[in-house]
Structure 1
Amino acid sequence: MGLENTLKSVGPELAAALPQGDGAWFKNSHLRTLNYYIFSMIILASANGYDGSLMNGLQALPQWQSFMNHPSGSWLGFINAAQSLGAMCSLPVIAWSANKFGRKRTLLVGYFWLCLGTGLQVGARNTTMFVIGRLSVGGVTSFFAMPAALLITETSYPTHRGIATSLYNTGWYIGSAIAAWATFASRNYTDGQASWAWRIPSVLQFLIPLCALPGVLMAPESPRWLTAVGRTDEARAILTKYHAGGDANSRLVTFEMAEISNAIEAERLNETSTSWLDLIRTKGNRHRLLISVTIGIYSQWNGVGIVSYYLAPTLAAVGIKSVTQQTLISGFIQIWNLIFAVSAAFTVDRLGRRPLFLISCIGMLTCYIIISGLSGSFDKTGVASIGIAVVPFFFLYFGFYDIAFTPLLYGYTCEIWPYELRARGIASMTFSTQTALFFNIFVNPIALDAIGWKYYLVYVGILIIVTVTVYFFYPETNGHSLEEMVRVFDGNDIAPFQSKSGLVEDEKPGEVLLVENA
C-alpha cells in the first residue's frame, strides 16, 4: 500500500509507526496467517446469505410449495421472517457474552444453532418443524455475525482493517450464490425424490461454515478484549505475533498497545461503559446510535427485501413465470452481487465511506423509479418486452445497493463505536436490521398481493429519506484508527487518549515519537 493510501487508511500518527519496506502482505507469513483467519470469519456471513437466497429459491420450487401447502400472504411472510425473529431474541445475550466471555467463544456458539437449524429444516416432516428450524437459524445469524465482525475489526492489521471489516458482509453473497445455484440444480427432482429438491439445498447450508471452522478455531482472541479484562501480556503477544512478525521491540506494537490501553482507560474514566443507557448518554454516542439504528433499518427498507426474499413472485408479476428462468435469474443476481460487493469493499479506504453511501442511495433511487414505471406499464399493457426490461434494472439496483449497504453495514458500524460500547452498538444495528427485516418480510407479500407494483412507490419515498439522512448525518471516518474515532464523534466529551498514551507528536506533520510512560 502506497504512502498516500496508508494515510487515507489510518492517518499520519499510526502511519508513522508502521514498519517500512516489508513489501506486500502476502510476502509476510504472519500477515498471510492472520488474513487466513480473517477470511474464515468473513465467509461465516455465508450462513445468513444462504438462508435469504434459499428461501427465494424454495418459493420457485413446486415441490417445496406442495410440502408447505402453498403458503401465501401473512403466513408466507412469517415463514420467511422467522429467521429474523430468532436473531432478534438472541442479540442481548450475544452483546453481553461478547464482553464477558470474549468474541471468539461467543462466535463458536453459532455452530450449535447451525447444526440444530439445518437438522430441523432438512429432516422436517411438517410445516411446523420447518418453521422451528428457521427460528433456530436466526441464532446462527446473530452468533456468527456480531462476534465475527468484532474479531475482524479488532484483530486486523491496521492498514487492512477498513477493507477486512467491509469484506465481512460480502460473505453473504457467497452463501446466497451457492443457495441459488443449488436450488437451480435440484429443481427437477420429482416423484419419490421430490422433497430432495428442497432438502438438498437445505443441508448445504452447513457447507461453508464447516469449511471455515479450522480457521475460526485457530484465530486469536481480540487483543482489545484481552486488554479490557486485564490480560495485557496476551494481547501484546498476539499483536507481536500477527502484526509485527514476532518482533518484540516493534514500534507498531508499542503504539497499538499504548493506544488501546489508554483509550479503554479513558472510556472507563468517562463512565462510558456502565449500561445500555450509555448509548444515549453523550452527544457523540447519540450520533453513533442514530447511525447504527438507521443504517440497520435502511439496509432493509430500501426495496432490497422485495427482490431478495420475493424475487419469484416479483418476476411472475412481470410475466417471467418459468421455474428455470426464475432460479437462473436468481443465481446470476447472486454472482453479480458478490462481484460488486467485494469490489466496493476494496475501495472503502481509497474512495471513503461517505461517497460510497451517497452514490449507492442516489443510484438505488433512480433504479426504483424506473422499475416502478416499467412494472406499472406492464401491468396496464401486458407487453412481454416491458416486463423483461425490469430484469436488468434489478441487476443495476443491486449493484448500487452492494457498493455501500453490503460492505459498510458492519464495516461502518464497527469502527464508529469505542471499545466499551462496540458490542452494544453492533447489537443495536443488528437488532434494527432484523426488526426491519422481520417487518419487511412479513408485510411485503401482503402488500404485493394487495396493490402489486404500486408498492414499489413506497420505497421510492423511503429512498429519498435515506439519501437525505446519509447526506446530513453520516460523516467520513476514513483516515482514523479505531481509537482515534473519538475525534470524529466526541470532540471534547471524552479526553483524548493521546494525552496519556505515551505518544508525543513531533513538530513535523505526520511524525510521532514513541516514549515510555513514566
Structure 2
Amino acid sequence: MTRSESVQTAQTAHVQKITFFNLAIVLALCLGSLTYGYTFSIVSTTLGQPSWFKYFNLTQDPTDTERYAYTNRIIGGMNACFSGGGFLGALFVGWSSDYLGRKKTLLVGTPIAILGGALQGGAVNIAMFLVGRLLGGFSVVGILVVLVPLFQSEIAPPATRGFLVSQHGVVLVLGYSLAAWVGVACYFSDNEAFQWRFPLIVQVIWPLIMLILTPFLPESPRWLLFKDRPADAWNVVAKLHGTGQETDPAVASFAREEFYQMSHQVQADKRMAAGETLMTLFKKPSYRRRMICAFLTMFGAESTGILVIYNYSVLLYQGLGFTGSIPLILAAAYVSVACCGNYINSMIIDRIGRKSCLVIGFSGCLICLCFEAALSAQYIGSSDSAGLSAGVFFLFLYITFYGCFVDATTFVYCSEIFPTHIRSRGLAFSLAILFLSTIAYLEAAPTAFAEVGWKYYLLFIILTAINLPLVMYFFPETKGLSLEEIGERFGDEVVVHLTDLSEEERAKLDERIIAEKQGLAADHVEMTAPGKAV
C-alpha cells in the first residue's frame, strides 16, 4: 500500500470513528434541539388537557358558537406568536452569530428560553401565556434551532457530517416525544393546575442545563478564522481530531489538511465578502441558487403539512372518533415513530445523500396525504371503525416517511450549502421561511379544519406535488464533501481540494502545507482544475 493510500485509509477510519470531544460538543448542542422540540410540541399536549381550556375560560364545544370561535382564534394566535417570535429570532441570530460568535449567541438565547417557559407554566391569564410563547419562539425557534445545526456543521468532519448534524433532528423529535408522554402522564392527575402547568414548566430544564454547559464549549474554528484568530482555530481543530503526542501520523495529517483547506477558503471568502451587501445574497448567481434551495427545502418540508398535522394531532384524532386519553396516547406514539425515523435518517443520509432523502420523503408524504384526505372525506363523522382506523394508519405512515427521509435532512442540507461568511444569514433565512410558512398554516388550521375539514389537506397535496420535481431537478448533492468544497456545486471557486486527490496530488499538498508552516510557501494553493492541486 502506498503512503497516500495508507493516509486515505486511515482518514476514512478516523472520520468514521468520531472523537469523544467532537461527539460531546454535538450532544451538548443538542440540548438546544431538545429545548426546541419540547417547547414546540408541548402546546399539542396542552390542547389535550381540558383543565387548560377551563382555566382560561375557553371551550371545545362547537355548539357554543361565540366562545368556540374565540377559542380557535386563541389557539391560532398561540401558534402564530411562537412562529412570529421564531421569525424575529431568526433575523437576530443571522446578525449575532457573525458579530458575537456562535458561543456567545447561545448565551443570549438560553436565558430568554428559560423566561419564556416560566411565563407559560406560571401564566395567570391568556396574555401572559401568549407573551411566553412569543419569547419561547424568539429564543428557541429563532436562535437555538438556527444556531445548533450551524454550529454542529462547522465542527463535524465531512464523511460523518450528515450523521452528526442529523442528531439535531433526532433529539429535536425526542423532545416532541418527551413532551407528548409527559402530557399523557399528567392527564391522569387529579390536580387540574398540575395537569397543564407541570408539562409547560418542564421546558425550562433543558435551556438551563445548556446555559451551564455553554461556557465549556469551544468556539467554531471557522468563525475564529474569519475573525483572524488562526492559533485559536487550530487548537480547536486539533482537539476535535484528538491529535496529540500519540496520534496516528495519518490522523494528524488529515487535521492539518482540513485546517489548511478551511483557513485558505476563509481568506478567499473574506476577500469576496469585502464588497458584498445583504442584497448580494440574492444578486450573486451562486448565492441566489443557495437561497432558492434553502427556500425550497424549508418551504417544501413545511408544505407537506407536518407541523399542522402534529400540532393539531390530538384534535385530528378526536375528529376521527377517538375520545378521552386515547388522542393523547396516539399523539405520543406518533412522535415516538418520528423520533425513531429521525435516527434512521441520520444513519442513511451519508450513504444515499441529501437529495435522494428529500425526494423519497416528499414522494411518500404526498401519497399518504392523498389517502388521508380521501379517508377523512369519507369517514370523519361516521362510526365506521375500519375507515377511521385506516385514517390513523396513513397518518402514521406519513410520519414514517417524513421522519426517515425529510426531517433531519432539511437541517443538514441548509446548514452546509452556505459558505462560512454567510452561513448564519443563510440558515437564518431558511428557518425564517420555515416559520413564516408555519405562521400561515398554523394560524389558519383551526378555522380551516372547522370550516372546510378534509379539503385543507388539498393545499398540502398541491404544494408538495409542485415542490417535488423542483427538488429533483434543481438541487445539487452535497454528501461526502467538506463545507469548503460544496461551494463548487453552486459555481463558486474552491481554493483547496481534499476529496478524491490522487496519490501524487496529496503528496504535493502535504509538502505545501509543511512548507507554508515553515514560512517558505506562498499564501495560497493554485488549483488547475476541480479536485486538482499543484
Q: TM-score, normalised by structure 2?
A: 0.87
Question: Aligned partners of 1:314 and 1:133: how far apart in 2?
Answer: 26
Correspondence for 1:299: 301
Tell me the equivalent position of 1:208.
Answer: 206
Aligned to 1:91: 90
5+ residue gaps, structure 2, are: 59-69, 522-534
For 1:461, the equivalent position in structure 2 comes to: 462
Q: Percent identity?
A: 25
CA contact (8 A) 1:352 1:476 kept: yes
2:499 is equivalent to residue 489 of structure 1: no
Task: Give 2:532's aligned residue.
Answer: none
CA distance in 2, matches of 1:170, 1:305: 16
Q: Secondary structure at the match of 1:340?
A: helix
Aligned counterpart, 1:198: 196
Equivalence for 2:164: 164
CA deviation digits over 1:318-365, x for unaligned, max 9?
Answer: 211x23101100111111110011111121111111111111011001
Residue-by-residue CA offset, 1:81-105 (whole Å, 9 max, x unaligned): 2111111112222111111111011
Aligned mates of 2:21, 2:275 — CA distance in 1: 33
Amino acid at match of 1:268: K
Report the alpha carbon displacement of residue 54 of structure 1 after superposing the two structures with TM.
1.0
**Structure 1's 488 and 376: CA in aligned 2 closer, same or farther, altered over 3 A?**
same
- RCO greater where, 1 or 2, for CA within 8 Å and sep 6 or more? 1
**CA pair 443-504 structure 1, distance change in 2 beyond 3 A:** closer
Does structure 2 retain, via aligned residues, the 8 Å contact 1:318–1:379?
A: yes
CA change 1:339–1:21 in 2 (3 A) is closer
Q: Is 401-410 or 376-385 further displaced after alignment?
A: 376-385
2:54 to 55, 63, 66: 66
Deviation at 1:509, TM superposition (A): 8.0
CA contact (8 A) 1:357 1:470 kept: yes
Map 1:410-429 onto structure 2 (within 5 A): 410-429=411-430
Structure 1 CA distance for aligned equivalents of residues 508 and 456 of structure 2:
56
Correspondence for 1:269 among 268, 271, 288: 271
- CA shift at 1:377, angstroms? 1.1
| Alpha-carbon shift at residue 441 of structure 1 (Å) | 0.7
1:51 aligns with 2:39: yes
Normalised to the residue count of structure 1, the TM-score between the two structures is: 0.90
1:3 matched to which residue of 2? Answer: none
Structural mapping, 1:19-34, within 5 Å: 19=11, 25=17, 31-34=19-22
Q: Aligned partners of 2:467, 2:335: CA distance in 1, in Å?
A: 24
Equivalent-residue separation in structure 1 for 2:7 and 2:277 (angstroms): 34
2:530 aligned residue: none
Q: Counterpart of 1:238 in 2: which secondary structure?
A: helix
Question: Do the aligned partners of 1:301 and 1:462 also contact (CA within 8 Å) in 2?
Answer: yes
CA gap 1:13/1:325 in 2 versus in 1, 3 angstroms? farther
| 1-structure distance, mates of 2:274, 2:472 | 28
Aligned 8 A contact 1:81 1:438 in 2? yes
Q: Structure 1 residues 337, 147: closer, same or farther in 2, change over 3 A?
A: same
Alpha-carbon displacement from aligned partner over 1:350-409 (angstroms, at most 9, x marks no partner): 111111111101100111111111111103754232112211111110111112331112
Count matched residues: 495
Q: CA deviation at 1:158?
A: 3.6
Q: Which residue identity is paired with 2:496?
A: Q
CA shift in 2, pair 1:409/1:258, >3 Å: same
* Structure 1 alignment gaps of length 5 or more: 1-11
Aligned residue for 2:187?
Answer: 187
Tell me by how many angstroms 1:13 deviates.
11
Counterpart position of 1:479: 480
Change in 2 beyond 3 A, CA 1:355/1:155: same
**Other-structure match for 2:76:** 77
Alpha-carbon distance in structure 2 between the residues aligned to 1:13 and 1:509: 12
In structure 2, the partner of 1:237 is: 235
Output the amino acid matched with 2:22: L
Relative to structure 1, is the Cα distance of residues 340 and 79 closer, same or farther in structure 2, using a 3 angstrom cutoff? same
Higher deviation after alignment, 251-260 or 431-440? 251-260
Specify the alignment match of 1:308 in structure 2.
Answer: 310
CA distance in 1, matches of 2:15, 2:306: 41
CA distance in 2, matches of 1:405, 1:272: 36
Q: Which moved more, 1:223-232 or 1:341-350?
A: 341-350
Q: Select between 459-468 and 503-512 the one with higher mean Cα deviation.
A: 503-512
**Alignment check: 8 A CA contact 2:91 2:429 kept:** no
For 1:452, the aligned partner's letter is G
Matching residue within 23, 26, 44 for 1:35: 23
Provide the residue aligned with 1:366 in structure 2.
Answer: 367
